[in-house]
Structure 1
Amino acid sequence: MAAPRAAAASAKQVTRRNFAEAARELGAHLESCDYVAVAAQKTGAPTGWRRALPVDTAETAYLKAKVAAESFQPLQIAVCPFLLRNSSPSTLVAYPYNFHIFPRDELQLGMPSYSFYCQSSYLSTMANAGFDFNMCIYDGISYLSRVQESFARQKICTPHVRPLLPLQSTSVADSVFKSRIKSRIMHWRKGYAEPNKKDDGSLVSSLSRLILGGETYGSRPSISIDVCSDHQVQLVLEAVNHISDDLVPLVVPDKVGAARAVCVIFTSSKEDKNLLLMDIQQSEEEKFCGFREVIDLLSSSQKPIVSYNCLNDLTMMHSKFVAPLPPNMHEFMCSLKMVFSSVVDVSHLWRQIGPLRKAKNIQAALSYLQRQYFVPMEIKIPEQDTAKVVSTENIVFLWGFRGKSVKELKSYLPGLHQIFSEDFEVKLLDKTCSALLFRNSGTAMQLLKEISSESPSLNNFFSEGLKAAGFEVYRKVCRLGLWDSELAEALERVSAEVAASTLSECNSSQIYWNSSLMLDLKEYLEC
């Protein structure tokens, strides 16, 4: 069997100057592709205990990803449709696009954002890699989320096509108004629909249009009819409807959204009328949509979305281009499913293939894939420990150890209490706090109960200034969003509020101890 070859292609750099063209090309590629890879280049990422930790559950990991998505700004979104051609030899064709985006407040409504966080280390890395910040800032594609766009449409009033609604009743004054408007429009239209065959010259033609009261909408003749109510708007629309099909009425609003006029546009043919209606719709979409058009293309294609860091990338996309992030993981996944129905996380692929579940690390998994499917790969992935599933009931958060290393802490604790003579592991979460994993079920709960009751057997523990809390305290820290504090400080603030009686009522969850954060979004797509 021959190895599939990946067709090399340089990424298309997309700014607002060539965005319309690139969006059309991307739409065509999405129709024919098998799947789409997405990735984001952001201005920073969480550090310290705010990053994804081995002790995080799906819920707490989502809360961390949520605050990161709301704090940092994407400057580039990479979108790459892949097409697998079953030729001989098989060929994998990639169509990479780099969309440069920037939160430009073009509508002057305070959206999408006036400020965001940056990390100097991230910006330095991007600059060293050749990232063009000038291109991003000056030519980056602006955007609004779907929710922001809805708000903007209410605030920004533009001429629009309004459907003709049946009038329930008309008065004598309505009939007079409608008759007068109809006569005026017919007289104006006659000057364009039945022009004088004699060439009167530009001056006479201009004077004729001035007398007729004509204006222009782009290159097409138009006339403006002043109105003072929605009822009069419907009268004008009805009058236009009874005159000719070559007229297109647009309702022109004032600053507060109330109709102030109806602009009647003359079209030269049925094709010209259809073209005008398409231009009106496209002009309105371009004004509000921006980069979100790409998200809509990805969503409507229904093609699988592939990413290496799905949780962080998709929370960011949801926050910036769809709507504010929901308060919990379940609601987020339900909302995300409405946009992207199929999501694949590369970091989970080896766990989904039967023989790979026995692989001890990702390097072994990649080796298997290469042997089995003959696919050449070059992937840089950090070293990971084994994906070991444990319960949060066996976790204790410990602080106050005065800068001791993991090795020092592991040898220091057994001398303070006999409970530490049991088998346990230590993981440093930040410089102020560590997590203890007890092998025996119930040991962590016993320790926390003794600490809560200030048992005399823990006098040495207390005298050393050590403090501890269970996972429920950490869960509450994340829910409260105490991100500006060191982890020990945040746990200290919350631990006093969690009574000992709640220790036995904590909701247990599973975590992946001693591994990078690994959340399979498929597990949460069912709502």
Structure 2
Amino acid sequence: MVFVRPLLQRRLFSFGATQTHRNPHQQWSIKQVIKSNFADTLEDIKSHISNSEFVAVSLQKTGFFSAPWHRVSPFDTADTAYLKAKHAAERFQVLHFAVCPFTVRASKVTAYPYNFHLFPRDELKMEMPSCSFYCQTSSLRSMARQGFDFNSWINDGISYLSREQESAVKNQMLNPTLAKNVTKSTSTPSVADSVFIGRIKSRVKNWKKTYKCTSPSKDEALVRSLRKLVLGTEEYDSRPWMNIDVCSEHQAQVVVELLQEFADVVPLIVPAKGGVTQAVRVVLTSSEEDKDLLLRKLQNDEQELTKKVRGFREVIDLISASQKPVVVYGSLNDLTFIHSKFIAGLPPTVDEFMCSLRLAFPMVIDVNHLMKEIGPLRKVTNIPVAISYLKNQFFTPIDMVIPRQAMENEDTIHGQNVVKICELFAKLCSVLKIDPASVQSDEAKRASALEAYANIFSPFSTASEEPIDGDIKIWTNNTRTVSCEDLVFLWGFRDRVTAGVLKSLLQESHEAFFEEFDVRLVDNSCAIVVFWQRGLSKTFLNTMNNCSDMRGPLREMVSEGLRAAGYETYSRACRLGIWEATLADSLDKTLADSDSASESDSKTESSDSSWCTEWTINLDDL
């Protein structure tokens, strides 16, 4: 935990202006990366990541939450918050991915921002040639109004192939590839392998001998055609070749090892659609020079193939390989997208997700948690507003240096947010007296100051608060915490009922409401009731389930359809993926599924009991 001294707030004077006080409408130079310049950019960003201390990332995604309750809320536990973020990550795609390697030295930030224009999935190009699908959200409609060319984006966007997709694309091309990394096996071959090797060796020798024994004749073309038909020989760039069919990867390995004994042949792997090896192609060369020429051509072809299937995942691999701290804003949502699209499928639980993510990014710093150390910034959810507040309240001159100059007529709209994250991070470190360079040092005491804010994936927690098992915040701006067991969800009340009206109706209607409680609307269909005294929620739920001890407005509301459930029902709805348009519908469906499961278990238990009664043999009766 980091102890933050009382902050001395000072307003900036006009004569203290530096390059930090730039025109708010001025835009930084962000390199826009598309398919045509992606390959060249990889080398540049690799060098910048290697020479920088941090890597900031920012995403722009398709889609929008279809229901208010699908958003991560303060009353969500880490598990339910992750399930909501997982749902969004698996439903939507990433349009823009901004990456900014940067270094902080005192008040100087040197940044190299890149904005990658991505196209989600190569296979969608044929299915969705128009931009109508992507324009369904407010953010994308705004982009369209700004003149963004969606058709150009679809054609020029970089694919973010996963490893599985990359393999699928290569297999679809079905191009023979050079057999590599083959070493002579030192183990004794089995009897089956020995027979197989002898048969293949004899076949290759006879094929070479027959092909080379040619006699000049006016009918040579016909003879060659007949020879090709009989021997199964074709030509590969005017060189003869034949296929050796194999039944397994082991057989393919045996064939490739065997062909190393022949100095004038080159083995190629012929893949099948399923990804396995279908055959080994034997290409016959005329000389050592001809063999070298063929090998160079094959390597060039492979490089061209790699370029065709290159995707943005290579950038993620570069960041991961550097092991540099990753700086983000709103870690849970963005990181689930990064993991889902570029690392692997999302695991079912938040603990598995955190373990998997740390294998790729050992240290993730969310500036949102640094902001919460400064009281007034707890309520801020906008980066420019946070930067403006720090400028006005603290003397934090930050000089943003972006060495790259903008190209003429270059679009600089996209990717600005990632530079703002770098600036905000530097300002917060300055205010909180944290030395960013300490992360790269060997001084554990200094480094722990920033590491205390790392790898916190709950969007509403802070590093300065000790977590309490089972306790959550209810309102974003309230420091009070409550156990999940003291929360009750209410739905089925009249339309357009405000939280205040609902609270007044509940007061004096049951003994549970004689003590302090709060009511807030989750959406138009459902409210959450917070009992600040332990045990009252259970008392109230028992009353609702038994329809007893009700009076006044509560009895009337129940007769009109009021329903109640504890936090576990809400958690179960998220676990089961029941993402209805309203929370009330999701809770109704969850309870219905639960009742059906209970009834099924009851019938099974009754059936088992009947079977046991009927078929049990009493030994005393024998």
2:342 paired with 1:321: yes
Equivalent position of 1:65 in the other structure: 85
2: CA distance, partners of 1:157 / 1:95: 39
Counterpart among 61, 67, 77 of residue 97 in structure 2 = 77
| C-alpha spacing 1:387/1:133, structure 2 compared with 1 (3 Å) | farther
CA contact (8 A) 1:159 1:251 kept: yes
1:456 is aligned to 2:552: no
Q: Are 2:20 and 2:397, in contact at CA under 8 Å, matched by a contact in 1?
A: no
SS at match of 1:404: coil
Query: Given the alignment of the two structures, is residue 439 of structure 1 paired with residue 532 of structure 2, yes or no?
Result: yes
Percent identity over the alignment is 39
Deviations 1:198-251 (A, max 9, x none): xxxxxxxxxxxx9xx99676xxx855333234758855664455427xx75322
Report the Cα offset of residue 186 of structure 1. 9.6
Partner of 1:169: 194
Q: Is the CA contact 1:248–1:267 (under 8 Å) kept in the aligned structure 2?
A: no
Secondary structure of the corresponding residue to residue 205 of structure 2: helix
Q: Does 1:120 find its partner at 2:127?
A: no
- Cα distance in 1 for partners of 2:278, 2:304 equals 21
d(CA) in 1 for partners of 2:46, 2:377: 40
Aligned equivalents of 1:4 and 1:393: distance in 2? 52
Unaligned runs of 5+ in 2: 1-15, 215-224, 226-232, 400-419, 426-459, 461-474, 599-622
Which of 422, 430, 442 is equivalent to 2:515? 422
Take 1:186 and 1:299, find their aligned partners in 2: how far apart are those partners?
53
Corresponding residue for residue 145 of structure 1: 162
Alpha carbons of structure 1 residues 234 and 357: separation in structure 2 relative to 1, 3 Å: same
Match of 2:618 in 1: none
Query: What is the CA–CA distance in structure 1 between the aligned matches of 2:535 and 2:117, rounded to whole Å?
Result: 52
Residue number in structure 1 paired with 2:205: 179
Between the aligned partners of 1:303 and 1:470, the Cα distance in structure 2 is: 43
Matching residue's letter, 1:177: R
- 1:489 counterpart residue number: 585
Cα 1:229–1:419 shift into 2, 3 Å: closer
How far residue 178 of structure 1 moved from its aligned partner, in angstroms, is: 3.7
Residue 397 of structure 1: which of 489, 495, 502 is its match? 489
Q: Does 1:251 align with 2:347?
A: no
Cα distance between partner residues in 2 of 1:55 and 1:119? 29
Structure 1 pair 278–116 and aligned structure 2 pair: CA distance change class (3 A): farther
Query: What is the distance in 2 between the residues matched to 1:281 and 1:77?
Result: 28
Aligned-CA RMSD value: 4.4
The residue identity in structure 2 corresponding to 1:445 is: K
Please, which of 355, 360, 379 is the counterpart of residue 339 of structure 1? 360
Superposed CA offset, 1:342-387 (max 9, x none): 2111111245xxxx3777836699767974865478769x996245
Task: State whether structure 2 residue 133 is matched by structure 1 residue 37.
Answer: no
Give TM-score, length-normalised by structure 2: 0.64
Distance 1:228 1:285 in 2: 26
**Within-5 A mapping of 1:285-300:** 285-300=306-321
**SS state at 1:99 partner:** strand
In structure 2, do the counterparts of structure 1 residues 161 and 274 end up closer, same or farther at CA, with 3 Å as the change threshold? Answer: closer
Q: Is the 8 A contact 1:6 1:94 kept in 2?
A: no
Residue 189 (structure 2) pairs with residue 97 (structure 1) = no
Q: How many correspondences in the alignment? A: 465
Give the distance between the partners of 1:360 and 1:255, measured in 2 at CA: 55
- Residues 1:441 and 1:140: Cα distance change in structure 2 (over 3 Å): same
Is the partner of 1:18 in helix, strand or coil? helix
The alpha carbon displacement at 1:24 in A equals 1.7
Could you tell me how far 1:140 is from its partner in structure 2?
0.8
Tell me the SS of whatever aligns to 1:456. Answer: coil
CA contact (8 A) 2:505 2:554 kept: no
Does the 8 Å contact 1:227/1:233 carry over to 2? no
**TM-score, with normalisation over the residues of structure 1?**
0.74
Shift in CA distance, 232/432, structure 1 to aligned 2, threshold 3 Å = closer
- 1:385-440 alpha-carbon deviations (Å, 9 max, x no partner): 24543221121111123121122222232142242232122221111111111211
Equivalent position to 1:228, from 227, 242, 245: 245
- 1:156 and 1:101 map into 2 onto residues whose CA distance is 22
